[in-house]
Every structure is written in C-alpha cells, then in structure tokens.
A = this chain, B = another copy of it.
C-alpha cells in the first residue's frame, strides 16, 4: 500500500477493510488509469512523504513571510530532486502535485511556458523556452487587472509601438489597469507574459501578449518603471497564502518589438499591424487543455475530502447505545450516508469525465492539425461547462465533508479548512463559473435554433438531434429496480436537458430582441446549461462502466457509484425533471427509494473505495483521515503543538487578565 504508516501498530479500520466486497488493488488501477500510473504515483508520493523538507503539517501555523520562504525552499528542493533523480516530465509533475503547496512554479510551467508555446513564433520559442526550461528565468502570466477580470477585452494596460526605437512602450494608464492577481508575480518572477492593448499607428488593435522582463537577473530588484508587490493575505491559513499573487504597474517600460508574441499577428518594423494566416481557433486548444486539467484537479481535491470524511465517519461514534455499550459509527446513519456517498460517487464521476476530457483534448488537437474545426465549438462548450460544474460541486463538497466531520472538522489539523480555502478560487479563475455556463448556454441556444434546419449536432450535443423523440418521450420506469437500467437514466437526463434548453429558446424567441431575451432569461439558461453538463457526466460514467474493468467486484462497485451519482443528481434536481414532464412524481419517488438501497450497498465498501485513491497520510494532511484510523491520540497530540501552548499562563495575563480578576478596574453597575 502506498502509505507512509507501515509502522502503525493497530489498524482501527481493519474491520472496515475486511468487509469490502471488491479488489482494492484493482480499483486503484481503475482510478489511476493503469498499473503504470499507480506505480509512478506511488513512487513520487513516497518520495515526497519521506523527505523532511516537504513537511506540511505545520503550514497553517506559519506567518505569511515564513510560509512564502517555505514555498521557495520547497520549490528549489523539488527542482534539485527532479534534476538529481533525472525525473521524467510525468514524474516531475506528480512530484509537484504531492508537494501540494501553491507556488510560482505552477504558473511558470502551467501558464508562462504554454503561453510562449501557443502564441510565440518558432523563433521566439527557440529563444525563450530553453531559458524557462532551465529556470534561468522565472515567468508568470499577467492578464487580469485590478478593475478587469472576466472581460479580457476591457483590459487597460497599453503597449504602444514606437517606430523611432523599434520598441513597445508598456504602460499602466490608470489605477484600475494595475495587473492584479497573477500568481508568482509579486515576489518570484523575473519575467511575465503581459497582456495589453496593442497600439500602433494611432490605432488600438486590442489585447495581445508581450514578454516583459520585470526584475534584474543580477539582484532580483524590479527594473526601472516597474512597481511590484504582493496583493495581500487570502482566504484561510496556509492554503493559497504560499503564493505571491501580485500587483504590477508599468511606467512607460520599453521592450524590444520582438517580445510581442507574434504567432497570430505581428507588428512590422514600420509599425504595420499584420494578421498571420495561423487560425485563431488554435488558441481554443490551449483553453481546452487548461480546463481539462482543472477538471482532473477537481476529482483530486474532492477525493481527498471524501477520503477524510469517510474514514473519520467510520471511526466516530455517536448515539445509538441503549445500555452504555458502544455507540453507533456515524457512517451507519442514513443521514450521513445520504450526504456523503453522493460525494464519494461524484469523486469517481469527475475522475472518469476528466479522463474522457483528456482524450477529447487529444482528439481536438489532432483535428486542429488537419484544420478540422467541426467539433471545436462543442468541445469548447463541454470543457467550459465541465470546468464550471465540477469546480462548483467540489468546492461545496469539501465544505460538506468538513461539516460531516462535526466539530473536529473545524480544526486545522483535520486538513479540511485548508483544503477548502485552497480550492475555492478554482470557481473563479480560468473563467468565472457563471460566465462559463452562460457560454455553454449560448452554444446550446445556437444548437437548438439550428435543429430545424437539419444541422446535426455533434459529440456531447448529439442527443439534441433526437429532439422529436425526446420532446414527447415518456419515462418507462415502473419499479425502483428499473432505475438500475442505464438506458432509463440516460433518457431521463437527456429529456430534462433538452426540454430545458428548448424551453429557454422558446422564451427567448418571444422577446422582441434576442439579446435582451437572452439576458432576461439568463438565470434559467444557467440551469439549462447545468442540466446539459450533468448529462455529460452521467453519460461518461455509464460509458465507463460499460467497458471491461478487471478485478473482482470492481465493475459492480463502479456501477453502484454511477447509479448513486445519477439518482442523487436526479433527486437533487427533481424540480427540473418534473417541471419538464421528463418524469412523474411517482417515478421520482421510486428513484429516491432505489437511492436508499444503493447507499446500503455502498456502506460496507466505503472505506475501501477511498483507500483506492491511494493517498499517503502526508498528502491527505489530515488527522481525521489517517489511514490507520488512530484519530483521537493524534488530535490530542496535535493540539499541544499550537504556539499558544508554549506557556500554560498566556502572554497578556499580567496586562489584561490579572487586573480584571484582581478588581483593579472599577465596578460597573451591571
């Protein structure tokens, strides 16, 4: 087992593990994707867990400065290990994941390098990428501004071409044009890809990217005209405070013309703006890539929270003792199961839809290479929507897992507060979830409007081609067990999604102005977009469990979880299904009944199902989620490490408590 607790003497969860009705090792492979994936993750996880530099159990107690320094130290040490051990790209990326501390490195590899790859000419790539690959420069991605986030076209920073010197002048004309939020910008980066309005020959050509050096490579001081700083503390202790999200202002900073990223458009020596013949659609490929990785991260964050909550729910006992005997494990309560098992199922659902999105990215990339743009819009909609739905659900789920751990989930030592605080920005970055869902809705409306013209929708929208059937189909479920039939589930979700979309389209159609109609109906459109995306998640889970999945009982467990995810989602959004006539109230009640039976089947397998995530205690970072379940002594021990316990009588006693107790303050009339 990939766990750093071989020395544990007693496994308090042994009975739970023995009760599992499937092969956990085989489930690890199903979760990770392959034997190889399990092995390499295992190796990297152990490497990190066994290295004292990567210790993180004291992280929430560090001051901002110490935390940032700790991040610099970990990043340097990780790089040293990557070099020494000659790790592959896959291994290095996993190592960074298990180090589990946001830092400049994430932006350097995740945004700066891809931006140059995607938007730089071959020449530019040849110049800049080797510097970045060897860390001779550290880069970040400076797009958002103090006054401008989602609306990239509203950015105010200017890059004005000066033909006299063959340079661009980068400038922040207003306070709100200050670059604001970019990770790694505040303290670590030497360079940035800066997005600014390109102005040449007196004309504003809109937003373009420029490579700008920010700090001296000799002493790290900001270059003339560059103001740099950190934007201040963020949600939680530990969490994202390890990152130097930054503020940046330019006072007429000059850069050579060839530092404009020129793959898609160029400015000539004379200052002429020229579009290249590289299709703009190529940029979508990068977006699909970034967002599919966010979906993959969602399943990681969610599975960590679920792992903690499931294990602790098997340890924690409350009530149920009539005669002073042992109390009941809280995992046995139906209320606990009905809140927790859908989240366990969601972790698996998001994992598999993430795998599929990864495939989709490859597929889109291959098609782009042969200039086939036919699936691009649909792929864009489905990645945007999946990013929105999985991150929102994950953020809520982490907090729900925290609540499911009762009072102790509120302690930093549970790991859950930090997991929540570090995760929630995923709902906002790389496209605010509401903005993204409206993009999905826009494409849904377009697809609906084209249905009558006979244009066949593709990919995840193909079901909309069955409009005539789905608008009038009746769900045939008659018994609770009928809900175990994936065809019934699939059709119910298809009917709900399509009818909601058509309904929106009809309402918009009645407006005198289509754009105004879209605006007026946007809350409904959000709901229709969510319905469409949930259908995709359900569909991909169903497809997954139709595959051959080796290992005793593994497929059966995944089938259960698939049904839990689908029927839970159905129950939670019952209003949609009933309002669209996709189900009758009776059928909704049968789904709920079946859901209860499914929970009973998940129960004995729950601990083994989270063991299959194969997380080390180091990575989980939770006293409540310990593999061995030895929670209470660990909680007790952890408490004494708080700085407040350095003295029994607290600092401040003599100034602020003793005078009170000793009546050295006048009595009030209270």
**A interface residue numbers (CB < 8 A to B):** 60-61, 63-65, 68-69, 72-73, 75-76, 79-80, 82-84, 86-87, 89, 92, 133-138, 144, 146-151, 154, 175-176, 178, 181, 186-188, 190, 217, 219-222, 228-237, 240-241, 244, 247, 317-319, 321, 327, 333-335, 338-339, 399, 402-403, 406-407, 410-413, 417, 421, 424-425, 427-429, 432, 434, 438, 519-524, 526, 571, 573-581, 585, 588-589, 592, 596, 632-633, 635-636, 638-646, 648-653, 655-661, 663, 665-670
Contacts and interface: CB of A to CB of B under 8 A. Distances in A.
A229 to B, nearest CB: 5
Nearest to A524: B592
A327 B635 contact: no
Given A147-B632, A335-B526, A578-B578, A220 B72 contact: no
Given A235-B417, A412-B233, A579-B588, A649 B318 contact: no
Given A232-B412, A333-B522, 8 more contacts: A175-B632, A187-B644, A188-B657, A235-B417, A240-B410, A406-B428, A406-B432, A575-B577
Contacts of A522: 333-335, 338
A220 B657 CA distance: 9
A65 B651 contact: yes
Contacts of A520: 334, 596
B247 A636 contact: yes
Of listed A236, A402, A644, A663, residue having the most chain B CB within 10 A: A644
A414 to B, nearest CB: 9
State how many copies of this chain the complex holds.
2
A649 to B, nearest CB: 5
Given A333-B522, A410-B424, A412-B234, A64 B643 contact: yes
A364 B425 CA distance: 46
A239 to B, nearest CB: 9
A79 B660 CA distance: 8
Given A406-B149, A652-B69, A666 B585 contact: no
Contacts of A75: 656, 660
Contact of A642 (B64, B144, B149): B64
Nearest to A134: B667
A639 B135 contact: no
A240 B236 CA distance: 12
A521 B135 CA distance: 59
Contacts of A84: 666
Contact of A69 (B421, B650, B661, B670): B650
Given A221-B648, A334-B522, A412-B234, A407 B655 contact: no
A138 B643 CA distance: 23
Q: Give 8 closest A-B pairs by Cβ, nearest first.
A: A574-B575, A338-B523, A235-B417, A72-B656, A69-B652, A575-B575, A578-B578, A233-B412
B220 A653 contact: yes
Contacts of A641: 232
B236 A421 contact: yes
Contacts of A178: 636
A474 to B, nearest CB: 15
Given A319-B154, A421-B417, A92 B670 contact: yes
A595 to B, nearest CB: 8
A236 B235 contact: yes
Given A146-B636, A667-B83, A234 B76 contact: no
Contacts of A240: 410
A407 B421 contact: no
A137 B661 CA distance: 6
Nearest to A623: B232
Of listed A232, A399, A411, residue having the most chain B CB within 10 A: A232
Contacts of A657: 72, 76, 138, 188, 220
Contacts of A580: 585
Nearest to A133: B670
A670 B89 contact: yes
Nearest to A77: B656
Contacts of A655: 72-73, 76
Contacts of A576: 574-575
Contacts of A64: 61, 642-644
